[in-house]
Chains A and B, each alone.
Chain A
Amino acid sequence: MIKASNLSVRLSGTQVLHGVNIEATAGQLTAIVGPNGSGKTTSLKAIAGEIPYDGTVSINGHNITTLKPWELALKRAVLPQSTVISFPFTVREIVRMGLSVGAKADAADTDRIARDALEAVDLSGFAGRFYQELSGGEQQRVQLARALCQIWEPVQHGEPAFLLLDEPVSNLDIRHQLTIMRLAKDFCERGGGVIAIMHDLNLTAMFADRMIMMKAGRVHATGHPNEVMTDAVMEAVFGCAMRVNATPPGNVPFVLPHTAA
């Protein structure tokens, strides 16, 4: 499990996080949601260990400051929001960079993992394409395949591995939004853990097991989406009045009147 306690971060003189507590358990998809500038990405960067912070972050009980970069890399992989590359790498070459962490098995195994990872993000047949020639959404999926390769087994040596995803579906069409969310969910079901920063509230409600609602550098609410996504919380966090609805249970047809022409 990942446990971040009392995280505070200052970025160029401004206090961005004020004592944030974030927990993510293996087997669960934890979504961080909140308006722009609420500290979601900063929290994820602190948990990834890439920026200085006050407080403690631990993965499976190890304080991350005591782990070497390569030890950390076997416990968690990170998908950044976007990655610009100035060199003409092929998709295959990028994806296989994720495989160079730690000692992996033989060449046939690495070939299989790289192929399966591309298939998982629906990019089979893209191995020979140049990264720079892909669309933003395709590039994002290549990066996800690269991150997946890094922790291909969700459980390694009895310890769960974690995927940290910064807006994994922001550039994607609806079909691939679902593909990627299912992939994340599947990673959890196989024993790993996922922390994902999300903007789409409906996808969050569909897929998240736990939801952390952030506002102005603080955690505003935590819990199952059914508990967190209430009219009151939505208005308090996003500052606009919205009604949270639920489709009727079971096989009951219903009509949404504003679909009338």
Chain B
Amino acid sequence: MPRSEMVMGDGRSQSFAARLKSDWQLGDRSRLAQLLIFVLMVVAAAMFAASIMTGAADASLSNVLRWLLGMEGAEQALSVRDRIIILDIRLPRAVLGLMVGASLAVSGAVMQGLFRNPLADPGLVGVSSGASLGAVLLIVLGSSFFGPLFAIFGFYALPVAAFVGGLITTLLLYKIATRSGQTSVATMLLAGIALGALAGAVTGVLIFMADDKQLRDLTFWGLGSLAGANWMKILSAGPIILVSLAVVPFLARGLNALTLGEAAAFHMGIPVQRLKNIAIVSVAASTGASVAVSGGIGFVGIVVPHVLRMVIGPDHRYLLPASALLGGTLLIFADMIARTIVPPAELPIGIITAFAGAPFFLWILLRGRSHMGL
């Protein structure tokens, strides 16, 4: 960096820090949130690049980049092996990690806003299990019962089935846990356990019924990892995840008002029923699509929004985009650990997120019991 820029940068950052401090005293975290979102964008990009560059095999990224940019002589320098490792293995894997991480974190944040409680998470309250059940139903009974589904949806059939499973679970959960606009946390968590167990039991029966080929499909699908990432998966789940992420910014103001209760949100001019419908469908769609391509990866949806709330506060206008960025970054990072910690083997990424996330979840519980109505 040139010296003049450094001096200017320092001067600006000092006055910026002072402004952040006075903002904090006034209870205004919007500037801090914007700064954090910018930092997270940079970190996400860096993590994405790092993920493409690291791995068990040695592959030269610069040659691939030169080839992609159409530079002279790059064609010769680039080996077929490098091209496959970078473009067909690592790149789709990083893209899928970013997408799934963003989708898990955002659907956690939206669900927590919807239930007005920081403990709601699609993985914890059975939505992921419902989505899995949808996917397993399709794989096992697919050819005999859902033939037309394949015909209509093609390779979208699996994410769509997982979406439907997740949607039914979310709707049931909301009906059970919410009475006249008040959500009972205890009912939500317990009903979530029951629904998850039920979905798990039905899934178990289906696996029992499955033949050898289906069992192989199920095993590959249910690893809970990004190991099977390819462009096909990205094409099938990507559009669903992107659409459900794209509607989320429009929910931010409504979710903020909803934290004061459904009646208060209505008093403040929010069309509450429509907000809830969109939020539920969006959570089910992004959870379903994520589960369809990567199996069950837990705790991202609860840890990421919680950490961010501690720094920038619960304002969903900032919380949702920040969750998407941090969720994507963390999942790519976890995946880098997963595929480099025990080379040449791979650890399922779900194990890593659980190792980091479960103790964190307990810590949230112990720390914030009094604020959560438990």
Contact = CB atoms under 8 A, between A and B. Distances in A.
A87 B24 contact: no
Nearest to A11: B180
A88 B112 CA distance: 13
Contacts of A132: 371
A28 to B, nearest CB: 21
Contacts of B259: 85-87, 89
Contacts of A70: 269-271
Interface in A98-132: 98, 100-102, 127-129, 132
B242 interface: no
Interface of A: 45, 48-50, 68-74, 76-78, 80, 83-94, 97-98, 100-102, 127-129, 132, 143, 147, 150
7 contacts: A73-B268, A86-B259, A87-B116, A87-B314, A89-B313, A90-B28, A128-B25
B198 to A, nearest CB: 27
Interface in B241-292: 253, 256-257, 259-261, 263-264, 266-272
B373 interface: yes
Q: Mostly helix, strand, loop or mixed at chain B's interface?
A: loop
A147 B263 CA distance: 13
Given A93-B313, A132-B371, A85 B260 contact: yes
Given A87-B314, A89-B313, A89-B314, A49 B266 contact: yes
Given A80-B263, A85-B260, A97-B260, A90 B27 contact: yes
Contact of A128 (B24, B117, B266, B373): B24
B346 interface: no
A97 B313 CA distance: 14
State the 7 A-B residue pairs at the shortest beta-carbon distance, nearest first. Answer: A73-B269, A90-B27, A92-B27, A87-B314, A70-B269, A128-B27, A78-B267
Interface in B316-374: 371-373
B373 A93 contact: no
Nearest to B267: A78
Contacts of A48: 263, 267
A127 B26 contact: yes
Contacts of B315: 89, 93
Contacts, number: 99
Nearest to B261: A83
Contact of B269 (A83, A87, A92, A101): A101
Contacts of B372: 86
Contact of B26 (A76, A87, A92, A150): A92
A46 to B, nearest CB: 12
Contacts of A97: 256-257, 260, 268
Given A71-B269, A89-B315, A92-B27, 18 more contacts: A48-B263, A70-B269, A70-B271, A73-B269, A78-B264, A83-B260, A83-B264, A86-B117, A86-B259, A86-B372, A89-B259, A91-B27, A93-B29, A97-B257, A100-B256, A127-B26, A129-B27, A132-B371
Contacts of A127: 26-28
Q: Quick one: which of A77, A80, A93 has the most chain B CB within 10 A?
A: A93
A98 B257 CA distance: 9
Chain B interface extent, by class: 20 to 34
Given A85-B260, A86-B373, A98 B118 contact: no
Given A85-B259, A87-B259, A77 B267 contact: yes
Contacts of A69: 266, 269-272
Interface in B3-36: 24-29
B309 interface: yes
Interface of B: 24-29, 116-118, 253, 256-257, 259-261, 263-264, 266-272, 309-310, 313-315, 371-373
A50 B268 contact: no
A102 B310 CA distance: 29
A38 B371 CA distance: 32
A72 B265 CA distance: 12
A31 B318 CA distance: 41
Contacts of A83: 260-261, 264
Contacts of B268: 73, 97-98, 100-101, 150
B264 A80 contact: yes
Nearest to B316: A87
A80 B270 CA distance: 16
Contacts of B310: 88
A86 B314 CA distance: 10
Contacts of A71: 269
B243 to A, nearest CB: 25
A76 B269 CA distance: 10
A94 B259 CA distance: 10
Contacts of A90: 27-29, 313
Nearest to B182: A84
A251 B264 CA distance: 46
B254 to A, nearest CB: 10
A147 B29 CA distance: 21
A204 to B, nearest CB: 24
Contacts of B260: 83, 85, 94, 97, 143
Looking at B253, B259, B269, the one whose CB has the most chain A CB atoms below 10 A away is B269
